Chains A and B, each alone.
Chain A
Amino acid sequence: GNSVTQMEGPVTLSEEAFLTINCTYTATGYPSLFWYVQYPGEGLQLLLKATKADDKGSNKGFEATYRKETTSFHLEKGSVQVSDSAVYFCALGYYGGSQGNLIFGKGTKLSVKP
């Protein structure tokens, strides 16, 4: 079946450090890939997405590239800020017919210290 695997957290970084959160997936066909972020006390928010192989999604300094050959969609940011502290979820989804829902990884908690 379809699934998403994320690196275990929590991840603790100092401000301005480089961030990588690994995400790999198992899927049939051609899913879209997403990163969602959940700030404390808030709902999930879409951070970025990619809909086909080699697409790069980017937003707020974060980026991720859809790698079909390695079935990966790793999240990166060159310089994290304290305000980036949140839980990050990798997800895959199909947009066709009745398969509009998302399959999520377990989430990776990021804490950024000043």
Chain B
Amino acid sequence: EAGVAQSPRYKIIEKRQSVAFWCNPISGHATLYWYQQILGQGPKLLIQFQNNGVVDDSQLPKDRFSAERLKGVDSTLKIQPAKLEDSAVYLCASSLDAGGWSGANVLTFGAGSRLTVL
């Protein structure tokens, strides 16, 4: 089974520039997540999609961050304009289904996209 694919792996930009990250989840996984992992901290959820609808975006800084998941498969996370504090690894994850009680419903993470804002 192919894993969660992310690109680019590394990106360096200057503040106020824009950047976009792409994620392709595991085939058949209905739920897709974007997490932000700042150096020395645990990942923090930015947005969760169920198919192509947003389930939770309460921690997404909507003045500069946007995300979409067209056709319920691939997803793009955009930052515009970037700030220094956006330097982090952006992790995409997917799971079979967020609904229902199931101990088997675990998240599979991609390798991440490391952003450096200068």
- On A, residues with C-beta under 8 Å from B are 4, 32, 34, 36, 41-46, 49, 51, 89, 91, 93, 95-107
Contact = CB atoms under 8 A, between A and B. Distances in A.
B42 A105 contact: yes
Contact of A102 (B55, B100, B107, B111): B107
Contacts of B98: 95, 97-101
Nearest to A100: B98
A31 to B, nearest CB: 11
Interface in B1-58: 4, 31, 33, 40-45, 48, 50, 55-56
Query: Which 6 pairs, one residue from A and one from B, show the smallest C-beta to C-beta distance?
Result: A100-B98, A104-B42, A51-B103, A44-B109, A43-B111, A43-B109
Contact of B33 (A34, A101, A106): A101
14 contacts: A4-B42, A43-B112, A45-B109, A49-B106, A51-B103, A95-B98, A95-B100, A98-B48, A100-B48, A100-B97, A100-B99, A100-B105, A101-B98, A102-B107
B103 A100 contact: no
B82 interface: no
B52 to A, nearest CB: 15
Contacts, number: 74
Nearest to A51: B103
A32 B95 CA distance: 15
B118 to A, nearest CB: 22
Nearest to A41: B111
B41 A106 contact: yes
Contact of B111 (A42, A91, A93, A103): A42
A95 B101 contact: yes
Contacts of A101: 33, 45, 48, 56, 98
A5 B99 CA distance: 26
Interface core residue of A44, A46, A51, A106 (most chain B CB under 10 Å): A44
Contact of A44 (B43, B97, B100, B101): B43
B91 interface: yes
